[in-house]
Amino acid sequence: MSAATAQPGLLLFGRRAGSVLLALLLLVAGAWTSWSTAQHVVFTEDREQGVMTVVRCEGEACSGSFAPAEASGKPRASVVIDRSIGEHKGAKVPVAVKPGTDEVVRTGGPGFLHAWVPLGGALLLAAVVIGGGLRLPRVAWGVGLTGGALLVASFATL
């Protein structure tokens, strides 16, 4: 076997390996980014929970007062939440407090879906890599539709 006939095989292997690594990198980055918020929504037993009343929204965040769900919790005059399409002045949002901070995250079904939005975007991007780089169109459609469904569900519930 000469070096000239081995090169196309190496190029094919390199393209496939690079595509697999890129798709995995996208999915891991999306999951990692989502988990930083989702962990507070998924594991709510050890988090202080309550209701935030939105007072003001500026830029990328909204602030307001926090009323705890349990009598053992402490009310806070000001907590901060990342802004999404669902917040407006006077809205009451169920939230969980991030430990050691005055930051809160939305809880419940809408909060769960909103926390996984970065993963939905990563799934859409990975679908392009899977379809184009790996030449697996059925898998790409499945991954892309899953990511799209996650994003649409998050948008619809907020």
pLDDT tens sequence across 16-57: 999 999 999 999 999 999 999 999 999 888 889 999 999 998
Element holding 42 (H helix, E strand): helix 3-42
In a domain, 17, yes or no: no
Number of helices (H) and strands (E) in the chain: give both, helices first: 4, 5
pLDDT level of residue 6 (50, 70, 90 thresholds): low
Residues 49 and 37 in one domain: no
Q: How many CA atoms lie within 13 A of 153 on its CB side?
A: 17
Between CA 128 and CA 26 the distance in angstroms is 11
The pTM for the full model equals: 0.86
For 130, the domain range is 23-43+107-158
Residue pair 95/66 in contact by the 8 Å Cβ criterion: yes
Residues 117 and 130 in one domain: yes
pLDDT level of residue 3 (50, 70, 90 thresholds): low
**Residue 44 corresponds to which tokens in the numbers above?**
């709510």
